[in-house]
Structure 1
Amino acid sequence: MSFIISTGMFMSYLFEPDFGVVDLENSEVHALGSLDTAVTLTTPDDIGVLTAEIVFFEPTIRNEIVFLAGDTVTYGEVADKLEAAFGRPFKRSVWTVPFLMDEVANDPKNMMRKYRAAFAIGRGVSWPKAGTFNDRQGIPVTDVAALIASDLPGAQQDK
């Protein structure tokens, strides 16, 4: 059995301070490439559950790329979801591809800078959630709004 599972970015990684995209302390989102650049995000827990489902799926999946998605959002939408959850405005700024490529050139061993540049370019890092394995099989997954509500201190949870 051989297949590739495409998950996008670990959803929690988007909110890691070292990654620099979401700055909760300063209420800011640094969009990679543009505010309209999309990124597909999936939680590690969902990846584990979905991988088990894929391995035992009938008929057996062979020789294909299996796409998963907890959510596919633009960086502008991430800022909107943060504003809704925290009840305060989030400043939006853009880290352009040339800016990020300059950062990589100035520090070529820094993997964080390489990841930011790759996600800013946007090729192969997002796909519609509709049509993914989890969508076709009706398997519930965590979306960005749910992760914000459950994992980020200070977010308002829906009652």
Structure 2
Amino acid sequence: MTSTPEGAQAPDFSLDDQHGRPVSLSSLRGAPVLVVFYPLAFSGVCSGELAELAELHPRFAETGTRVLAVSVDSVFALRTWSDREGFPFRLLSDFWPHGAVAESYGVFDAERGVARRGSFLIDADGVVRWSDHTPVSEPREMARALERARALTA
């Protein structure tokens, strides 16, 4: 499966966050949304990426961009990780059906059973305006997503 292309309508989804509350992409229309897929909670590269994203979160908020981080981890694992790290954004569980949302965006690695590193900046109307993909062993530069969010909302 190929990644959701820029200019396409972003696949809608409804997933539970780290507190067990449902979040649907369509309910966030009217503001940009950055959807960040990552392989697993508590892993080294993912921890670094989400720490950087947390550090940049106030700047995303200044642009009106909402941040959602998605993995195949359970709600319980995400809650423990979020509580420990103090993430200011919602962590969404793509646990069951396993990886279905990551698959709909073209970033599910069926061999490993996890999402690949994919970021999607979605505009207020639900259209993908930018995406970024990096190998699973390499961290993304979250500042690039912030630059694109600023350009989108300028």
Which structure features the higher share of helix residues? 1
**Structures share a fold, TM > 0.5?**
no
Larger radius of gyration: 1
Which protein is richer in strand relative to its size?
A: 2
TM-score (norm 2): 0.32
Q: Normalized against structure 1, the TM-score is what?
A: 0.32
